[in-house]
Amino acid sequence: MKKITNEEFGGERPLFASRGLQLDNVTFHAGESALKCCADIEAVNCRFEGKYPFWHTNDFRIYNSIFTEGARAALWYSRNCVMENTRVEAPKMFRELDGIRLRHVDIPDAEETLWHCANVDIEDCSVDRADYLFMHSHDISIRRWKQHGNYSFQYCRNVEIHDAVIYSKDAFWGTENVTVYDSELHGEYLGWHSRRLHLVRCHISGTQPLCYCRDLILEDCTFDADCDLAFEDSELKATVIGHVTSIKNPAAGSIRVGSVGEIIIDENSKAVEPVAIITD
């Protein structure tokens, strides 16, 4: 590999279509597309200040680096990205990537990030201001994750999450095949219109959770007091530990719960036969 050390670049496409580069302590100043159409790139202790540095780039690795706010939309239309111990201050990162591995990455402005991505593997990362995170992405594995941002994971498929703390209104809308273990899920309207959403030992807060779901499974979950009007028009099998404030018009299945403040079955119920609600 060709090694570039302690250099600075600016302008448009300074390393366009390069192959087999090892970058050490390199700064990319304002400009565009610094490493566009490249392959086999390793960047260590680098600073990215210009727009679109990694577009149409394959097999690249980024360690101990920073993407400043000016490096917006930095990683699009690429394959096989590894990023570790890096801070991403730029919004709209990771679009239409196949093969992403993130370790110890902090993204304080994650708005509209990780759209249309596939084969994503994340550990020990955090995101903030993460509205519309993970739109239309699939085959995602996440462990030890902290997130603040609304409308996340909409229309995602094949997702597995462990040990997460997620603050997100409208999380998991329209998803398919999502399983979440040992996590905190905070926000209104959780999981609406999802299919095969499976929550295991999760703590849930926010009004009207888990409505209009199909094949919903809850195992040993707990609900905050603000979780009212739960499960409307959902087909489910649920085990909830402790108290639920209110349950409204479940469509089919069974619910085992410690206690329920109110069960609402009104003229809008779509249940063909009564749903079994069993209190311990």
Q: What percent of the chain has pLDDT over 90?
A: 96
Mark whether 4 and 65 lie in a shared domain.
yes
Q: What is the pLDDT of residues 171-202, one digit of tens each?
A: 999 999 999 999 999 999 999 999 999 999 99
The H or E element that residue 2 is part of is: strand 2-5
Nearest-angstrom CA–CA distance, 215 and 173: 14
Tell whether 112 and 144 lie within a shared domain.
no
Q: How many CB atoms lie within 10 A of CB 265?
A: 14
- pLDDT tens for residues 3-45? 999 999 999 999 999 999 999 999 999 999 999 999 999 999 9
CB 221 within 8 Å of CB 205: no
Kindly state whether residues 29 and 118 are assigned to the same domain: yes
148 and 101 housed in the same domain: no
Same domain, 4 and 21: yes
Residues in the chain: 280
pLDDT one-digit tens code per residue, 219-260: 999 999 999 999 999 999 999 999 999 999 999 999 999 999
Question: Of 79, 108, 124, which one is at a domain's C-terminal end?
Answer: 124
Domain match, 27 and 151 both: no
Residue 156 and residue 86 in one domain: no
Q: Which pLDDT band holds residue 100 (cuts at 50, 70, 90)?
A: very high
Identify the band that residue 1 occupies on the pLDDT scale cut at 50, 70 and 90. Answer: confident
**Residue 272: pLDDT band by 50, 70, 90 thresholds?**
confident
Query: Could you tell me if 90 and 136 lie in one domain?
Result: no
Summarize pLDDT for 126-178 with one digit per residue, the tens: 999 999 999 999 999 999 999 999 999 999 999 999 999 999 999 999 999 99
Share above pLDDT 70 across residues of the chain, in percent, rounded to a whole number:
100
Do residues 91 and 47 share a domain?
Answer: yes
Residue 137 sits in the same domain as residue 109: no
Please give the residue range of the domain that contains residue 51: 1-124
Q: Among 124, 158, 173, give the residue marking a domain's end.
A: 124
Q: How many domains does the chain have?
A: 2
Domain boundary pick from 70, 93, 124 = 124
- For residue 271, the model assigns a pLDDT of 85
DSSP 8-state code for residue 70: T
| Phi, psi of 199, deg, nearest 5 | -115, 125
